[in-house]
């Protein structure tokens, strides 16, 4: 089945800096890669996703890039703000594990004012 | 308001005492799923359901049961809970398969098994 590895496990940045979180996946047939943000005491919420036929997707201050050849994808947050502080999860789906969504281990992002 | 509702939010129980965590969604979604969240391990899928009476194992199904008798409900059953099932549990739903649709999560159920 699919295996998703996420790094780093913790990330601390100053307000206004950029933050990058990276994930690798094992199933070359996976075709959908969402990113979720989990705030304290809440369930994860989708913030951006990318499909395997696209190399990059941007939504205001967040962007995701996908390298199918290397089987890795990354989340980029620019001009970080304290409210960006949360746990971020990457995930992979589709391919040979239809119906299953496999998550990475999570990254605790802290943005210092 | 569109939402996924889990109950209870917090639960403390003892080893071997059967319990059920309920999950209900009001969005007429076909797909529903249960995850457990543990530090350093992320979210791991326990069971998922693609429609009424259709369920399948996720990555960590041992010790859990589910049923999908109605479209809106997807309860998680622990027949004989053990301390290693102490965790934070999330129910989620989506209109269709994960690769095509946004998945909505409940607020979570924190379970402690003594």
CB contact under 8 A, A94 and B40: no
* Average pLDDT estimate for A45-70: 93
Distance from CA of B106 to the nearest CA of A (A): 6
A95's torsion region: left (phi>0), alpha (psi -120 to 50) or beta?
left
Which pLDDT does position A95 carry in this prediction? Answer: 67
CB contact under 8 A, B99 and A106: no
Torsion from C-alpha of B18, B112, B21, B28, nearest 10 degrees: -160
Most distant CA pair in chain A, distance: 44
Q: Is the pLDDT of residue A76 over 90?
A: yes
Which pLDDT does position A93 carry in this prediction? Answer: 84
What residue in B sits closest to A93 (Cα-Cα)?
A: B99
Q: How many CB atoms lie within 10 A of CB B70?
A: 10
CB contact under 8 A, B45 and A100: yes
* Average pLDDT estimate for A68-78: 96
* Residue A82 main-chain phi, psi, to 5 deg: -55, -35
Q: Is the pLDDT of residue A97 over 70?
A: no
Which pLDDT does position A73 carry in this prediction? Answer: 97
Asked if the peptide bond before residue A80 counts as cis, ω within 30 degrees of 0, the response is: no
Residues of chain A found within 8 Å of residue B41, distances taken between Cβ atoms: 105
Residues A2-42: pLDDT tens digits? 899 999 999 999 999 999 999 999 988 888 899 999 999 99
Q: Is B67 exposed, middle or buried (0-12, 13-18, 19+ CB in 10 A)?
A: middle
**Rounded mean pLDDT of chain A?**
92
Mutation target to probe the B interface, by most B beta carbons within 10 A, among A33, A101, A106 is A101
Distance from CA of A88 to the nearest CA of B (A): 10
Buried b (16+ CB within 10 A) or exposed e, B90-103: bbbbbeebbbebeb
For residue B57, the cross-strand partners are B47
Report the distance separating Cα A98 and Cα B11, nearest Å: 32
Distance from CA of A30 to the nearest CA of B (A): 9
pLDDT < 50 stretches in chain B: none
Nearest to B43 among A32, A41, A89 (CB): A89
* Residue B85 main-chain phi, psi, to 5 deg: -100, 5
Report the distance separating Cα B61 and Cα A3, nearest Å: 17
């Amino acid at each position: 089945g699919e295996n998703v590895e996420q790094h780093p496990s913790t990330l601390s940045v100053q307000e206004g800096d950029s933050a990058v979180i990276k994930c690798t996946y094992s199933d070359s047939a996976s075709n959908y890669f969402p990113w979720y943000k989990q705030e304290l005491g809440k369930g994860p919420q989708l913030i951006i996703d990318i499909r395997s036929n696209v190399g990059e997707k941007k939504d205001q201050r967040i962007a995701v890039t996908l390298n199918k050849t290397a089987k890795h994808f990354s989340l980029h947050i620019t001009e970080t703000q304290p409210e960006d502080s949360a746990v971020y999860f990457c995930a992979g789906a589709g391919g040979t594990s239809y119906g299953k969504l496999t998550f990475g281990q999570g990254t605790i992002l802290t943005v210092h004012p | 308001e569109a939402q996924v509702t889990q109950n209870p939010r917090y639960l403390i129980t003892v080893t071997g005492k059967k319990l059920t965590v309920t999950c209900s969604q009001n969005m007429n979604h076909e797909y529903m799923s249960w995850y457990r969240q543990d530090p350093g391990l992320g979210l791991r899928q326990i069971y998922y359901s693609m429609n009424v009476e259709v369920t399948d194992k996720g990555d960590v199904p041992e010790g859990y049961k589910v049923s999908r008798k109605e479209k809106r409900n997807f309860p998680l059953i622990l027949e004989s809970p053990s301390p290693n099932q102490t965790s934070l549990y999330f129910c989620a739903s989506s209109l269709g398969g994960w690769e095509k649709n946004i998945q909505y999560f409940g607020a979570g159920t924190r379970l402690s098994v003594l």
